[in-house]
Structure 1
Amino acid sequence: MASSAILFITLAFLNSILISLAFDPSPLQDICVAPPLGLATSICRDPRLVTANDFFMTGLDRPGPFNAYGVTFVVASVLTIPELNTQGQFLIRAELAPNGYFPPHTHPRASVFSVVMTSSASVSTNVQNIPMLNGSNFKDWKETLLITLGCMDLDLALRTEKPAPLTDVSTADLKRDFERWERSNRVSLMIIKRSIPEAFRGTASEDIANASEYLAKIEERFAKNEKSETSTLLANLISMKYKGKGNIREYIMQMSHIASNLKAHKLEVPEDLLVHLVLLSLPTQFSQFKVSYNCQKEKWSLNELIS
């Protein structure tokens, strides 16, 4: 009886050891570049045949074609980066079209770590940051628009010409580039029109289907306003007079600010001319200061005048 109990305990102990050892061996290796498909004679390629091309891939910077679910995948796996062999990991760039969805699926014996780069919420927030165009804010409106479209990676159609039409012999890269440009143009045009009041939309032809041309048409409409603003700034600069109230340095900086605005309107005021305008705008109590400046051979810079 005692020997039977000892035998049972011994068998149970051995069985527990076997169960604890029943796991898959770890495939992880420091380097095990996958051999070419169809030429595999072992799990790893001969290290002497490994090249730099086995460690990287191209294409993750661009989305692939959308499938029937409205999803596009660009996969970086052992098939595209042979060095990932035995590393137990791969990377997927996935994008969802409007109303697209990921079909239900599982990843047996694997974990998924997802990072959302751009969502509908962030897109909406970015678009809301674009001010509504009015008669006096075209410059700020255009700057904010271009920054927003650039951050959303939608400014391709504003930076490049439309690609040549696709043909039966167009490569996959040409088709992908064409689809990317078309999407940029379509969405950019919608965002531009959204930030323009109905009263201004009539100034740009609705027949224009190119976002860059549409923006240029709007800019033509506001070119006259920009000329008017330049004239106003120049008149203000010439007519400014220091009335003895406030800090003289702040007054000079105000004149310098107007000159900077004129430069932004492509009308640059030379620094020595600006210095003379400042001196001419000072009242009679600064006469001795003016005489002192005029008697010197050297010209003062604006910073020297402020100090």
Structure 2
Amino acid sequence: MFSVLENQGLSLPLSAIKTLAETNYEDWYESLTINLTIINLDLALRVEALAALIEKSFAEEKTYYERWGHSNRTYLMIMKYTIDKSIRQSITCTDSVKDFLAAVGDKFTKFDKAEKGTFMKLLTTTTYDGVSGVREHIMKLTRFFNKLRQMKVELAYSFLVWQVLESLPSLFDALKTTYNAQRD
């Protein structure tokens, strides 16, 4: 399609925008909006469409209308290009950036539920394998915990601590006892 986007003297390789796949909606959305804002193509996302032009419209209204239309068309093309084909085919086509982006967001609300379940299962069933370091194991569980909190799953930090201790083998029972004996 095109490898470099250019607008007002700014250029951006299309590869700078991540491709939307099954599990990276937030990353894709952030990459898309940041990159298209940098090259000033986000007008259609920020501003509602103007009413249709009439014969007596001023030159600046016509120019603005054309800029908005260009922004809308380009943004839609880039969004569709950076969405995996299997996902793109399941989204209703619209002529508006805002409507298309909302349709994509709605599609990923469904994926969030499954992803929450996956991260909750990983957090509660992952045990220390003895191969990697304990620190790496704790960091892995903390990543699962933080991902769940980002998805608005309310978990207390005390649950994370408890889960980390429970995931360690009996070799660490002295540590568990010491921790549990502490008041705070």
User: TM > 0.5 between the two?
Assistant: yes
Contact 1:237 1:258 in 2 (8 A): yes
- What TM-score do you get using the length of structure 2 for normalisation? 0.82
Q: Which amino acid aligns with 2:166?
A: L
Do structure 1's residue 147 and structure 2's residue 39 form an aligned pair? no
Residue of structure 2 in register with 1:191 after alignment: 78
CA drift at 1:274: 0.8
Residue of structure 1 in register with 2:3 after alignment: none
Q: Name the SS of the counterpart of 2:35 in structure 1.
A: helix
- Ranked by relative contact order (alpha carbons within 8 Å, sequence separation 6 or more), the top structure is 2
Q: Which amino acid aligns with 2:148?
A: L
Question: Percentage identity across aligned positions?
Answer: 35
Q: Name the SS of the counterpart of 1:266 in structure 2.
A: coil
Match among 273, 278, 302 for residue 164 of structure 2: 278
CA drift at 1:169: 6.3
Residue of structure 2 in register with 1:134 after alignment: 21
Residue of structure 1 in register with 2:9 after alignment: 117
Write the deviation string for residues 228-277 of structure 1: whole angstroms up to 9, x where unpaired: 11110110001121233332122111111111222232224322221111
| Number of equivalenced pairs | 179
Contact 1:203 1:218 in 2 (8 A): no
Write the deviation string for residues 177-228 of structure 1: whole angstroms up to 9, x where unpaired: 433322211110111122234443332223x110111111122223222221
Give the alignment of 1:51-130 within 5 angstroms.
117-118=9-10, 122-123=11-12, 125=13, 127-130=14-17
Cα–Cα, structure 1 residues 275 and 212, in superposed 2: closer, same or farther, change >3 Å? same
- What TM-score do you get using the length of structure 1 for normalisation? 0.52
Contact 1:238 1:277 in 2 (8 A): yes
What are structure 1's unaligned runs of at least 5 residues?
1-95, 98-115, 299-307
Q: Which has the larger radius of gyration?
A: 1
